[in-house]
Amino acid sequence: MEPIPFDKDESYEREAEILKVLGHPIRLKIVAGLISQTCNVKKIWECLQLPQATVSQHLALLKNKGIIEGRREGVEVYYQVTSDQARQIVTSLFSLGPCEH
C-alpha cells in the first residue's frame, strides 16, 4: 500500500478553486451543458429558464476562473468549456457521454 502524499509540495490551489466555482448548482449545470456543445447566452438561459442577467453573472465567473471561454460570432458570443480539470470533474460526477445532460 502506497503512502498518501500529504507531505508532497504539490499545490492544490487551482483544483480547490475549480471545485469552489463548480459548487454552485447553476454553474455546475452550465458547465455540464457546455461539455458536449458550445452555446450562446440566449440558449443557455432559455434551457435553464433563468433571467439573462443571472446566467450572465455565472458565465462571467466561470470565464474569469478560466473554466470557459467565449468566442464572438457577429453579435453573439458562444461559450465552451476550456478547462480539462473542470471537464473531468463534471464528467466523472454525472458519467456524461455526448449529449447526456
Q: What is the pLDDT along the chain (101 residues), one digit of tens a residue?
A: 666 666 565 667 888 899 999 999 999 999 999 998 999 999 999 999 999 999 999 999 999 999 999 999 999 999 999 999 999 999 998 875 444 44
Quick one: fold of 17-94? Arc Repressor Mutant, subunit A (1.10.10)
Q: Which amino acid is at 69?
A: E
pTM (2 d.p.): 0.82
- pLDDT at residue number 12: 78
Q: 21 with 27: CB under 8 angstroms? A: yes
Q: Is 95 exposed, middle or buried (0-12, 13-18, 19+ CB in 10 A)?
A: exposed
